[in-house]
Amino acid sequence: MPNSGTTAPSRRSFLKWSGVAAGTATLLTSSTNLGMPGHGPAAAADGMADADTTFWSACVVNCGSRCPLRLQVKDGVVARVLPDNTGDDTLLNRTIRACVRGRNMRQRIYNPDRIKKPLKRVEGSKRSEGKFEEISWEEAIDLVAEKLQYTYDNYGPEAVFESYGSGVWNAHLANSGGWPRLFNLMGGQLNYYGNYSYLQVSQITKYFYGAADEQPSNSIEDSIENSKLLVLWGNNPQETRMSGGGVTYTTAMAKKAGLKIIVVDPRYSDSASVLADEWIALRPGTDAALIAGMIHVMLDEGLHDQDFLDKYCIGFDEDHMPDDAPKNASYRSYIEGKGKDGIEKTPEWAAEITGVPANQIRKFAREVAQAKPANITQGWGPQRHLNGENQALAIYLLACVTGNVGLPGGGTGGRDGYYWPITAWIDDGENPVETSISVYTWTDAIDRGTEMTAKRDGVRGKDKLDTGIKFLLFYGSNMGASQHGDINRTREILDDDSKCEFIVGMDNQMNATMKLCDLVLPDTTTSERWDLVPSEYTGDMAYEIMCEKAIDPLYESRPALEVTAAIAEKLGIGEEFSGGKETTEDWARELQAQNHEENDFIPDFDDLREMGVFRYTDPNGLYVGLKDFREDPEANPLETPSGKIEIYSSQLAELAATWEFDEDRLGDRITPIPEYVSTVEGAEEALAGAEYPLQCIGHHYKQRTHSTYGNLSFNNEAHPQKIWVNSLDAADRNIEDGDQIEVYNDRGRIQSQAFVTSRIAPGTISVPQGAWVNFDDGGTDLGGAVNVLTSLHTTPMAKGNGQHTALVQIEKAK
């Protein structure tokens, strides 16, 4: 199979549309319908012949796609889980095959960790003790209503907060479960901006491209047809989006089509192993330095696209700067050593920081510059460092310097592009509260809420918070004891019930966050309620999945939407909340009727139930980021002050001059250009012989999606928790593959099995993120959760989660 010589026309066969016109419905046949009771394609010949009924369902966790499942029910029990059996093998009508996580749904439904009844914390016990007593649903609803009303009456709506969580992500109904709707009818709640996945890039992009969120690159489908090179920069779709609907499938097709692929990552990920023609192994958090060294080569050898930079950008060189910029503040001046630091950013300079040899930097720079066009797509790992904003902008910048923005086959340097689904979510109403905080600073808002300000802590909507968080909700969320930074410190903050006075948790699994709550409510799984499930980051094919109620709710579990309706009724706003709807089927039918009315090619509820999965595509064709801007920048200016791409941002310069930073913390600063910023606990500190000399990152793992599915024994057996350690670092510490090791720093200690390998950069370890904590009596986490080791320090501009920036030491477990 060719690696790089295949031309674009010979790759077009991978983009057959199977007779499906862009923007129109893909009408699926019912070739597998055997006449079983009323569920069309879900009744399949490849399952149990004696199943009573087969229902459509879905895996809705936050992996970046969504997968249809067919649940075969026998005697009221889900007996078998089958994958999608619709679609075909073409990219834009492909079968959406679930991965091993979703296919193991039975073990989630019938798990011993299921929350069976409402639980109330035992009076006088600490939250971290996890002591509960069972109560009735009536008592639970009364208690929520009482505590909620008390909070609004005594502290106001800014004291109410729902923590970010992704365990029910993007199901049209269960995504919110009615909680925001309830809070908004009560007077609102404290908002948050961003999310844990890509907070830094989502907040910094507006200063570069003018986009309110991230700026997607071209789709992988477009790359298959038009690109000469695909660069996966910190982008690992084979593990983060492993499903038939997601980018795993499209990148595999890109490889099969002969497109050359280069992976940049500290770890030789599955994407590097399966897809890459070349692996660039750099130290974590040094991406902006690598790019500076590459651009130095391009400038030195005349490989950059000066015409593009002159026409579409400001701030690259001194001749194209805003009027208020000081002399030698351009990016080119920074590269040439004419800026404040006086250092020329040669490949040798970059090699010392990144660990990538200077000759490899030169070769890589030439490959990227000379491949016309090339799609550089960044994952969200690089921006999850304490210098994450600059990391993200630097990758954007590389796409600009090579002139690839807005071209078929090119890209913006953002995450691979997609067609966002047009189907609607449940209407949660308007939040009358304008105040918001970064999604990552909720523990600060509990611990020191009234001290938080706009210029120091990123508070938006007002100069400072007037109250801390007093009523906290964890819904479908394991943020309190898995996904948030510095788990030990987070537990300490939550243990102080004089600060946050009441915590409600709602989930279907008793994870460690639920154990920190005052009241725990048992939610249903997707098999026990109705819902509508959209695609998410699935490239140029969007879709919607019917999610039927396959079995009755187990134990005393109830759908969140029906629970919040009962709380609203208790608070006297029941009719306003529900509008006469009583069940999740009522809500789903009303919402799908709206979808069908607004876009008549979308099937109505009953037709979607018969089809199971409905696919549709963008009427504009394959996604090309900023195509209109490239074609006519005057008619289609960006939402930046200049209307152009701002490599130098006067707005960022203003923030740098007016915001308050911790002068004693290395890297706590904003820069108007995407320069490399050294940080506390970064590569230089590790190289300087710090007490904790190893950089620790946390990669996404096939065993689970974040922490969801982290308690399933089959998944754990197939993919046990292992800590990646470079062979040289292991030899220095007499550690062999399979040894139990401890990883520690001042924030905590974890224990797990060592995976000794050359597939990770020296000086770096990687702990699969999302593991469920299991503390022993000495405080060591035997579950191996990376966030026992990470920091609550925020990034300078987005006030985000730089959780990949952490230094540690390792040793054999005693």
Quick one: angle between helices 287-301 and 388-401, nearest 10?
20
Same domain for 316 and 342, yes or no, is: yes
Arithmetic mean of pLDDT, 677-701: 96
**Which has the minimum average pLDDT: 62-71, 256-265, 576-585?**
62-71
Phi, psi (5° rounding) for residue 199?
A: -60, -45
pLDDT digit string, tens, across residues 154-164: 999 999 999 99
Arithmetic mean of pLDDT, 350-374: 98
pLDDT digit string, tens, across residues 557-566: 999 999 999 9
SS3 (DSSP) at 545? strand
pLDDT at 53 over 90: yes
Local confidence band at 2 (pLDDT 50, 70, 90 cut-offs) = very low
What residues have CB less than 8 Å from 189, skipping those under 6 apart?
157, 158, 160, 161, 162, 180, 183, 431, 433
- Quick check: 505 and 513 in contact, CB under 8 A? yes
Which residue type occupies 184? N
- Quick check: 76 and 551 in contact, CB under 8 A? yes
Per-residue tokens: 812: 């054999």
What pLDDT is attached to residue 245? 83
CATH (domain of 520): 3.40.50.740
* 101 inside domain: no
- Can you list the alpha helix ranges (DSSP code H) found in 71-130? 100-103, 105-109
Per-residue tokens: 354: 């990144």
Per-residue tokens: 665: 């913390």
**CA dihedral for 608, 102, 236, 748, sign (positive or negative):** positive
Going by the DSSP 8-state scheme, the letter that residue 9 receives in this structure is H
**Which one, of 437, 490, 553, 474, lies nearest residue 158 by Cα?**
437
Same domain for 396 and 435, yes or no, is: no
- Quick check: 776 and 789 in contact, CB under 8 A? no
* 512 inside domain: yes
* 242 inside domain: yes
What pLDDT is attached to residue 8? 35
Same domain for 191 and 228, yes or no, is: no
Arithmetic mean of pLDDT, 426-432: 96
What pLDDT is attached to residue 633? 98
Distances in whole angstroms, Cα of residue 592 to Cα of each of 29, 578, 598, 602, 618: 21, 16, 10, 9, 20
* 56 inside domain: no
What pLDDT is attached to residue 332? 98
What pLDDT is attached to residue 61? 87
- Using the structure block, give the residue that is written with the tokens 């994407």: 271
- Quick check: 217 and 399 in contact, CB under 8 A? yes
What global pTM score does this model have?
0.95
Alpha-carbon gap, residue 266 to 279, rounded angstroms: 9
DSSP string covering 563-617: HHHHHHHHTT-HHHHHTT--SHHHHHHHHHHHHHHHSTTS--HHHHHHHSEEEEE
Same domain for 341 and 427, yes or no, is: no
Same domain for 264 and 313, yes or no, is: yes
SS3 (DSSP) at 125? coil
Per-residue tokens: 791: 């920091």
Same domain for 578 and 460, yes or no, is: yes
Local confidence band at 45 (pLDDT 50, 70, 90 cut-offs) = low
Query: At CA 774, angle to CA 769 and CA 780, rounded to 5?
Result: 90
* 709 inside domain: yes
Q: What is the domain count for the chain?
A: 3
**Which one, of 336, 333, 347, lies nearest residue 294 by Cα?**
347
Local confidence band at 244 (pLDDT 50, 70, 90 cut-offs) = confident
pLDDT digit string, tens, across residues 720-733: 999 999 999 999 99
What is the overall mean pLDDT for the chain?
A: 94
Alpha-carbon gap, residue 121 to 128, rounded angstroms: 10
* 9 inside domain: no
- Quick check: 238 and 248 in contact, CB under 8 A? yes
Same domain for 251 and 397, yes or no, is: yes
Arithmetic mean of pLDDT, 313-319: 98
Look up the domain containing 804 and give its range.
Answer: 683-812
What pLDDT is attached to residue 18? 33
* 390 inside domain: yes
**How crowded is the C-beta side of 336, counted as CA atoms within 13 Å?**
12
Same domain for 225 and 310, yes or no, is: yes
Arithmetic mean of pLDDT, 685-708: 95
Same domain for 450 and 409, yes or no, is: no
* 580 inside domain: yes
Arithmetic mean of pLDDT, 466-479: 97
Same domain for 158 and 273, yes or no, is: no
Alpha-carbon gap, residue 519 to 500, rounded angstroms: 13
Same domain for 402 and 466, yes or no, is: no
Distances in whole angstroms, Cα of residue 716 to Cα of each of 354, 441, 508, 719, 728: 34, 31, 19, 5, 28
- Quick check: 439 and 560 in contact, CB under 8 A? no
CATH (domain of 407): 3.40.228.10
Local confidence band at 666 (pLDDT 50, 70, 90 cut-offs) = very high
For 102-130, give one letter per residue: b (16+ CB within 10 A) or e. bbbbbbbbebeebbebbbbbeeeeebbeb
pLDDT at 553 over 90: yes
Per-residue tokens: 477: 């969320």
Same domain for 262 and 397, yes or no, is: yes
pLDDT at 22 over 60: no
- Using the structure block, give the residue that is written with the tokens 């819904």: 475
Regarding beta strands 519-522 and 502-507, do their DSSP bridges make them parallel or antiparallel, or are they unpaired? parallel
Regarding beta strands 502-507 and 645-646, do their DSSP bridges make them parallel or antiparallel, or are they unpaired? unpaired
Alpha-carbon gap, residue 593 to 117, rounded angstroms: 34
pLDDT at 806 over 60: yes
Local confidence band at 619 (pLDDT 50, 70, 90 cut-offs) = very high
- Quick check: 528 and 174 in contact, CB under 8 A? no
Q: Which helix (DSSP H) or strand (DSSP E) does residue 424 occupy?
A: none
